[in-house]
Amino acid sequence: MTDRQAMIRNEALRLARMVGTPRWSRREFLGRSAVLLGAAAVGPTILAACGSDESSGGGGKSVTVSNWVDYMAPKSPAAFADATGIELKYKEDINDNNEYFAKVQPNLSKGESIGSDAFVLTDWMANRMINQVKWVQPLDDASFPNKANMRVSLQTPAFDPTRKYSAPWQSGLTGIAYNIKETGKEIRTLDDFLAIEGSTSVLSEMRDTVGIFMLATGADPTVPTHADSLPAFDKLQKAFDDGSISGTNGNEYVNDLASGNLAAAFAWSGDVAQISRDNPDVRFVIPESGGMLWSDNFMIASPSEKPGLASEFMNFFYDPANAAVLTNYIQYIAPVEGVEDELTKMGGDAAQLVDNPLVVPTPELLENVKIFGPLDEEEEIQFDQHFAAITGTG
């Protein structure tokens, strides 16, 4: 077993809780599911490596980008290089937000190179990078004119209200997935979920689960405080105490729902979008009181001397045609306006995604989801400890 495999295995075992099977990141799970379903999982093309110099060994421009596993269409890196003349080293070396932070902290805290010009991290970690430790630099807007194509709903997050330092790589929704054969009825509200007689689970990701409970109890997760969240935590505690919630889960809820081991679960839209194509009994709903919207965000490391080239990388993927290729492969929500038309032009299965609200959400759906707001260090500790005490996670 390699060190990397051991790290992933140990992290999965650490996260395993009441529902029991190992957990993977959102993106890792998509790749593993594709293998299990017989799909061809082809890794992205890796072009010539680059260090901190402006040029690669061959004298051309180059840039290095770190991202999550299985979060890139296989042909897109080479397409980027062909279109821009920039050689790309694309690294799938992010498996967990905290793990990646710990890995780059020794260098970034001293202003030293981490071997990557840019990386992609989830909203709450983006807040830490931008506002707390300040280890990122502004995007180069002159090299990123397609930034104008960013979806309106993603343009003003609390952690980066002008998107000066970040741009969403992909987005997803957190709501409720359920197997209609197990529930015997449709789910519309959080109380419907809690009234299910079969086995249920909530996500081990604190912000996803607590955010939905906050919305259901009238609190605003976009400006979260521990004091305002207390009714949500009380409702969550009661649900665990009386057995309305059986335990916590990571991505494995998809297989558990399909097999009937779970009747319903808090879930991420991209996972359900894939499995529901083959199993229409598995459905996804945003509760009437609201669900969560999250993004994984591209940022440029502060020591990088290539903000222009790194921004050109994002500019390529903010072209709707290139964004559509990515969407067709990973089936999360593109942060780019105009993807729907490009998917239609592609035809076949890609065109069918336009009618899938988990991949192309309607304006009405987007109005009913919120981005969990930034927490200061003290508040984050309070939230995490309270959540862990109830769920047994952490």
343 half-sphere exposure, CB direction, 13 A CA radius: 24
What is the per-residue pLDDT for 251? 67
| Cα-to-chain-centroid distance, residue 218 | 25
Which amino acid, one-letter code, is at 277? Answer: R
Give the separation between CA 353 and CA 347, rounded to whole angstroms. Answer: 10
How many residues would you count in the chain? 394
Is 172-293+370-391 in the same CATH topology as 3-171+295-347? yes
Closest Cα to residue 332, out of 128, 57, 120, 30?
30
Read off the pLDDT band of 17 (50, 70, 90).
very low
Query: For domain 172-293+370-391, which CATH number applies: 3.40.220.10, 3.40.190.10, 3.30.1280.10, 3.30.530.20?
Result: 3.40.190.10
Read off the pLDDT band of 12 (50, 70, 90).
very low
Report the percent of the chain where pLDDT is more than 90.
Answer: 68
Contacts of 332 (CB under 8 A, 6+ apart): 170, 171, 172, 269, 270, 273, 359
* Distance between first and last Cα of the chain: 26
Are 248 and 16 within 8 A, CB to CB?
no
What is the per-residue pLDDT for 394? 60
Give the separation between CA 214 and CA 212, rounded to whole angstroms. Answer: 5
295 pLDDT more than 80: yes
Q: Which two tokens stand for residue 102?
A: 């710990």
363 pLDDT more than 60: yes
Give the separation between CA 116 and CA 90, rounded to whole angstroms. Answer: 9
Which amino acid, one-letter code, is at 292? Answer: M
User: Per DSSP, which regions of the chain are E strands?
Assistant: 61-68, 86-94, 118-122, 136-137, 167-179, 200-203, 247-249, 264-268, 282-285, 291-301, 369-370
72-85 mean pLDDT: 96
Give the separation between CA 315 and CA 324, rounded to whole angstroms. Answer: 14
Instruction: Provide the 10 A C-beta neighbour count for residue 386.
Output: 19
Give the separation between CA 327 and CA 325, rounded to whole angstroms. Answer: 6
179-184 mean pLDDT: 95
Are 307 and 137 within 8 A, CB to CB?
yes
Are 179 and 282 within 8 A, CB to CB?
yes
Write down the domain spans for the chain.
3-171+295-347, 172-293+370-391
Q: How far is CA 221 from CA 4, 30, 375, in A?
A: 35, 28, 10
Rounded to the nearest 10°, the torsion over CA 385, 298, 93, 268 is 60
The helix/strand/coil state of 150 is: strand
CATH architecture of the region 3-171+295-347: 3-Layer(aba) Sandwich (3.40)
101 pLDDT more than 80: yes
